[in-house]
Amino acid sequence: MRARIITIVLISVFLGSAAVSAEEICSHKVNRDSAGGILPWYKPETPGAGYVQVCQLASEFIKSGVPIDPSTGQRLYFISCCFDGPHLKSQEAFAAGKTWQSWPNNPACVFAGLVQGLVLDWRVYTGDDGYTNVVRSMLDHQLAFGTTPSDWPWANVPYASGDPGTAVWQGATKWEQDGMRGDGLHGIEPDKVGELGIAYLKFYEATEDKKYLGAAVNCADALAKHIRKESNIIKSPWPFRVNAKTGVVISEYCSNVIEPIRLFDELIRIQKRIGLEEEKAGDYKNVRDTAWEWLYGPTGPMKTYVWNAYFEDVQNDPERANRNQLTPLETARYLLKHPELDPTVNESVPALVHWVASAFGTEGMEAIKEQTWCYEPMASHTARYASICALWYERTGDSSYRERAYRFFNFATYMTYENGVVAVGPSWPGSWFSDGYGDYIRHFMEGLGAVPEWAPAGENHLLRSTSVVQKISYQQDKIEYRTFDDSGAEVLRITARPKAVKVDGKPISQQRSLANDGWTWQPLDKGGVLRIRRTGGSEIVIQLPFLK
């Protein structure tokens, strides 16, 4: 997102269309508590209610509210990264699909984010399987119209970018003379190969459709083939940009190795389940270790803090001058979910969080800016920061992080309009499918899993599982779900203490802690939090008391 579109925002502010004022943010009256702390625009008296509301509005917009471009007959997310909502253009023009912006499209990161936000999170929270087919159509389109040929050096991998106005992607070409914004013809971004690769794999785990397993393995194979073991302070294990057809490197450095690492780690974890050959799994392990050693080595970003290169529409940056908050915070997320990988995780994670707050915080707002080359506070990045604070609170019990998460989440709700259109930020009223959807919904859902007290009372919801949930059914007297793995842990907010919990038909018992298999119950004012730990089964039934 970047300078040209910022100019548009500044013009709209000058003309009186500013999204933020002292009293309002994105047309919502600002709510505050007695101490002046920001509260959500929706049901401010109920912590967490606003988070669910904006997730619902944004999710339903993607499912059924995205306009269709009249020229191509495609939903706007297939032809453009961004659009103006009816608060900026007329409702008639918006509904007719005529308000999309001419800027490099970024389908890979959008679709990867929606696998997490809609399929792994919101679908499970609501029990609405319709979201699976919505995202399936996106992934199938990427495979058919945005993937490199099988006989190229970088074979069978996704393009990160595409030209606006077309639903066939092969890198964005219109900005090749402007620092290669959008990667250029046949340009790809290896970190997005990892990011969409792990999304393909998770979608396979949700559906067991081997097409997506094959797509994930193709991504891993390409990354393994092109690992650069001679990486250093100016040359990362994979370049940021490379021409997939010729193999010529376009931009040398990218700090975002955590996405390829995630892909390799998950393929290795499920090796036996998917029949991955020992030799290939060993190769994946060696490649993954090479990237990890650079990440934590003296020339890697965990030491240098050169968190540079992620966004597809920035210019090449040979001096590595730009910095972003996305990669350090997503690295922190992976460490929090896999603390065994870093013996110093209790120092590493708060260091990353504090650096982001210092470098990208916004004076006078609980908001986080995107990057130094687009120094604008945005909803998605604010919600990301909040989600990491929530996870850190869950790990440590440090209530100051819960409060920080609460305030930053509260602020991030304001960018969602009641029609499901999500503005980029408080002073950026236009919308991006990444910032308002793929990189937005999932962060609130992460927060609910970390702080289940924020989930709505009087309702039943599975908030988080360590395994992909394939199927779930909410009924008056029971909750039933099936997971990909036959072991795992879940967090639910439910209406009453369960009568029984069964795994593959066998009861498990209530425990004081989850050191062993079983379940625990944390009573709240209404209902409570159920936590389950299980091995040896993937079919879970929670029997509930009948409540009038």
pLDDT in tens, the chain (548 residues): 554 444 434 333 333 344 555 689 999 999 999 999 999 999 999 999 999 999 999 999 999 999 999 999 999 999 999 999 999 999 999 999 999 999 999 999 999 999 999 999 999 999 999 999 999 999 999 999 999 999 999 999 999 999 999 999 999 999 999 999 999 999 999 999 999 999 999 999 999 999 999 999 999 999 999 999 999 999 999 999 999 999 999 999 999 999 999 999 999 999 999 999 999 999 999 999 999 999 999 999 999 999 999 999 999 999 999 999 999 999 999 999 999 999 999 999 999 999 999 999 999 999 999 999 999 999 999 999 999 999 999 999 999 999 999 999 999 999 999 999 999 999 999 999 999 999 999 999 999 999 999 999 999 999 999 999 999 999 999 999 999 999 999 999 999 999 999 999 999 999 999 999 999 999 999 999 999 999 999 999 999 998 66
Q: Please give the structure tokens belonging to residue 308.
A: 């540079």
Question: What element of type H or E holds 473?
Answer: strand 469-474
CA distance 371 to 360: 7
Output phi, psi for 118, to 5 deg. -95, -40
Q: Report yes or no on 125 lying in a domain.
A: no
Q: Report yes or no on 480 lying in a domain.
A: yes
Single pTM value for the model:
0.96
Q: Report yes or no on 229 lying in a domain.
A: no
Residue numbers of the domain that contains 536: 461-543
Q: Report yes or no on 80 lying in a domain.
A: no
Largest CA distance in the chain: 67
Q: Please give the structure tokens belonging to residue 387.
A: 């989600």
> Do the beta carbons of residue 312 and residue 161 sit within 8 Å?
yes
Give the three-class secondary structure for 176.
coil
Output phi, psi for 171, to 5 deg. 85, 150
Q: Report yes or no on 479 lying in a domain.
A: yes
Q: Which residues pair with 501 in a beta bridge?
A: 508, 542
Burial of 527 (0-12, 13-18, 19+ CB in 10 A): buried
pLDDT of residue 23: 86
pLDDT of residue 17: 40
Domain count, the chain: 1
Which residues, at least 6 apart from 406, have a Cβ–Cβ distance to it below 8 Å?
47, 386
Alpha-carbon dihedral sign for residues 185, 374, 166, 195: positive
Q: Report yes or no on 507 lying in a domain.
A: yes
Q: Report yes or no on 75 lying in a domain.
A: no
Q: Report yes or no on 524 lying in a domain.
A: yes
CA distance 231 to 252: 10
